[in-house]
Chain A
C-alpha cells in the first residue's frame, strides 16, 4: 500500500496547477470564489482553453478531442480544477452523453457529435425526470411514436438544469407502450430548436433560474438521433449513471469551500473579535477538515481499487451520501459566515462583489435530491448488505 503519487503523476499535478494559474480568467475565478455557479459563457470560455490540452474531455480518446487520462490523473485534474476554483468540464456533454455515444452510438453520431460536445459547440441538457417519474425513473411517460424516419415525441420533462441555455437535450422516451417497462424506453437526442419544444423556467429556492420544465408537443426527432437500439434506452441510462462516479464525491469543491470559509473567518469581525478566534467555529472546521480527508481517501480508495469496489458494489452511493452531506454542511457554515449577504436575490449578470453564500446554501439542498436522492442511495447500500 502507498498513497504517494508517482513522479509522473506529481509532474502532472504541477503541470495542471501551472496551467490553471496562467490561463484561468481571473473574473471567472473570482465569481466562483464568491459562491456563484459558473454561467454558460464562463464554462464555454474555460472549457475551450482546457481543450488545448485535451482536458475538456479528460478521459476521452484523443481522436475525439480527449486526453486519455488514467483514473489517478482524472482525480488530480478534477481536484485541481475544483480547488482553483475553476468551472469543471460541462458534465452533461463530457461525463454523461459522450461516453454513452462512444459505447452505443453509430459511427456517424460519434463523428458528428463528439468533437462538438468536447468543444461545447453544442450544449446538452438531460431530459430524464418527469412530473410522475422522479426516483422511479422507469415510470416515465413521454412517448415517442414511430412515423417513417422520425419519432413524434409528446410529453413533459422537469427539473431540467440549463435547458434554457441548452442547444440539445438527451432524453428518455417510451417507444413501446406494450413492452415491460424497462424495455420499452429509448434514448433520443432532441434539438431544442425543433418546433413543438417549449422551455419554461422554474425558479428554485435560491431565487435563481437553473431549472426548467420542457414541454414536448408533436416534436419530430429523426430516427438517426436515437442512440442504441430501440428499447435499449434503459441500458444507456444505466451506463450513463455508472459513469458519473468519478466526480460524485466532489472532494475538491468541498476542500475549496473549507479554505474559503477559513479565509473569510479570518477577515470577518463580529462582536469585537475575528470569527477565526471563535473556538466553536474552529472546532467545527477542524471536524469538517478531518471528515473531508476521510471522503478524499475513500474516493481514491474506491476509484482506484477493484477489490474495494467488489466488496462494496454500492460504493458510488457511499461517496454521494457522504459528499453531499459534507457539501451541505460547508454551505451552511459559509452562509453563517456571510450573514451580511442575506438579501433578496437579484439576477446576477455581473459580479457585484457580494458573496453569494446564502444562495449557494439554499441551492446545495438539491445535492441530496438530484442524481438519486439520499434515500435511494441508502436503499442501494442496504440492498448490498441485506439483499
Chain B
C-alpha cells in the first residue's frame, strides 16, 4: 500500500495549481461564465500545453498513459480553481470509452483528443434515466445503408463545443437491460439532430439532444464491447467527479479558514468561538473522508471489471457527494451573509456540488449499487426506492 503521489504527479499538481491560481481568479471565472460559450478556449489551450488532454489517453495513441490516478491529480486542481474545463466529459470519459471499444473510431479520435485538437461530448444520460450504465432507451437501427438513431439525451456537458457526440443507444432489449447497448459517434450538425442549449446551475454549458433518424458512425455495436466502453467511461467519470469535488471542498475550506481568521465580531475574531471552530473541524473530517475516497476511486477506476472496484466506485461517489454537500453548506453558514452572495466563491462551490452530484448517477443509484454488492444471506431483493 502506498498513498504518496509520484514525483511526476507532484510536479503536475504544482504546475497546474500555479497556472490556475495565476490565470483563473474569481473575477475571471465570473467573466468566463458570463461569456456566450461559458468556458474559455484560451485557458483550455494553456492546460492542453501542460499535457492535460494527453493524460487520459494511452501512450500508444499519443497520450501520456491514460491512468486515472494522474487524471485525478488534474481534476483535483481543476476543482480547486472552480474552472469550467471540458477535461472530464469531453476528453477523459470519451477517451476511456474509445480505448475500451478499440476499432477505427478509436484510432482516429484518440490522437486528436490527446493533442487537444478535438473535443467529444459524452451523451449517455436520458431524461427518465437513473444515471446508471444500463439505462438506455435511445434506439439504434440499421436501415441497410447506415445506422440511424432515435431518442433523447440529457445533460450533455459542453455538447455545443464538441466535434462529435459520443452517444449510447439500444440495439435490442428493454430500457434497463445490460445487454443490447451500443455506442455511436455523430456530427453535431447531423440531419435530424436537434440540440437545445442550456446552462446548468453552476454555469456549465450543456445541451439536450432530440434525435430523429440521425445517421451515426458505429463505435461499438457488439454488446460486450459497448458494455466495456460504457463502464470504462463511467468509471473514469465517477473517479473524476470525486477528484473535482475534493478540489472544490478544499477551496471552500480554505476560504472558510481565511474568513474565520479575519472577520471580527464582538471585538474578537469569529474563529475564536468554539461553536465555529467545531463546525470547521467537522468540515476537515469530511474533507479527509473525501480525500481518501477520491484516491480509492482513481485506483479502482483503472480496474473497472473487478466487482469490488465497481462497488468501491459507488461507495466513493456516495461518500464524496455526501461530505461535499455537508462541507459546502457549512462553509456558507460559517461565512454568514457574504456566503450568500453570488460574487463570493463559496456559494459557487455548492452550485458545483449540485451539478456534479448528478453526473454518472445520483445518490439513489450509488446506494442501490452498494446494496447489490453486499453479502446478503438468502435475500436477493434489490432496493429500488429512494429513501
**Chain A residues at the B interface, C-beta cutoff of 8 Å:** 1-5, 72, 259, 262-263, 266-267, 274, 276-277, 279-280, 282-287, 289-291, 293-295, 297-298, 300-301, 304-305, 307-308, 312, 315, 317-318, 321-322, 375, 377-379, 381-382, 385-386
Knowing A293-B319, A386-B261 are in contact, say whether A301-B3 is a contact too (CB < 8 A): yes
- Mostly, the B contact residues are helix
Q: Which 5 residue pairs across A and B have the least CB separation, nearest first? A: A382-B277, A378-B281, A381-B281, A290-B315, A297-B292
Q: A382-B278, A386-B271 are in contact. Are A297 and B296 (CB under 8 A)?
A: yes
Residues of A within 8 A of B281 (CB): 317, 321, 377-379, 381-382, 385
Contact of A283 among B5, B295, B387 (CB under 8 A): B387
User: Which B-chain residue is minimally distant from A72 (CB atoms)?
Assistant: B1
Smallest Cβ distance from B256 to chain A, in angstroms? 9
CB distance from B308 to the nearest CB of A (A): 10
Task: Determine if A300 and B1 form an interchain contact, defined as CB atoms under 8 angstroms apart.
Answer: yes
> Which residues of chain A are near B280, meaning CB under 8 Å?
381-382, 385-386
A386/B288 contact (C-beta < 8 A), A266-B378, A285-B374 known? no
Would you call B289 and A298 a contact (CB within 8 A)?
A: yes
Which residues from B are CB-within-8-Å of A266?
376-379
CA distance A56 to B362 in the complex (A): 45
With a CB–CB cut-off of 8 A, which chain B residues contact A382? 277-278, 280-281, 284
Q: Out of A274, A280, A307, name the residue touching B387 (CB < 8 Å).
A: A280
A386 to B334 Cα, complex, angstroms: 14
Contact B69–A1 (Cβ < 8 Å)? yes
Q: Which of B3, B285, B377 contacts A305 (CB 8 A)?
A: B3
Contacts of B198 in A (CB 8 A): none
Residue of A3, A267, A295 most packed against chain B (CB within 10 A):
A3
18 contacts between A and B (CB under 8 A): A1-B2, A262-B374, A263-B377, A266-B376, A280-B387, A284-B387, A285-B371, A286-B383, A289-B315, A294-B293, A297-B292, A297-B295, A297-B296, A308-B3, A317-B281, A381-B281, A385-B257, A386-B257
Task: Point out the residue from A259, A285, A287 that lies within 8 Å of B318, measured CB to CB.
Answer: A287
> How many angstroms from the CA of A304 to the CA of B370 in the assembled complex?
27
Q: Is the pair A378, B295 in contact by a Cβ cutoff of 8 Å?
A: no
Given known A279-B387, A293-B319, A385-B284, contact A286–B3 (CB-CB < 8 A)? no
Residue of B nearest to A2 (CB): B2
| B299 & A286 in contact (Cβ 8 Å cutoff) | no
Measured CB to CB, the nearest residue on chain A to B290 is A294
A1→B315 contact, CB < 8 A = no
With the chains together, A120 CA to B3 CA distance in Å? 36
B383 near A293 (CB under 8 angstroms)?
A: no
Of the residues B4, B261, B284, B289, contact of A381 by C-beta under 8 Å: B284
Extra inter-chain contacts (16) besides given A262-B377, A289-B374, CB under 8 Å: A3-B296, A277-B381, A279-B384, A283-B367, A283-B383, A286-B370, A290-B314, A293-B293, A294-B290, A377-B281, A378-B281, A378-B282, A379-B278, A386-B257, A386-B277, A386-B280
Task: State whether the Cβ of B265 lies closer than 8 Å to any Cβ in chain A.
Answer: no
Contact A291 B289, beta carbon cutoff 8 Å: yes
Binary CB contact string for chain B from 45 to 67 against chain A (1 if under 8 A, 0 otherwise): 00000000000000000000000
Selected contact of B375 from candidates A1, A262, A307, CB within 8 Å? A262
**Chain A residues positioned under 8 Å from B298 (CB to CB):** 1
Residues of B within 8 A of A321 (CB): 281-282, 285
B381 touches A293 (CB 8 A): no
**For B379, what are the chain A residues with a Cβ–Cβ distance below 8 Å?**
266, 274, 276-277
What B residues does A259 contact at CB under 8 A?
Answer: 375
CB of A75, distance to nearest CB on chain B (Å): 9
Complex Cα distance, B281 from A266, in Å, reads: 37
Q: Are A279 and B289 in contact (CB under 8 A)?
A: no
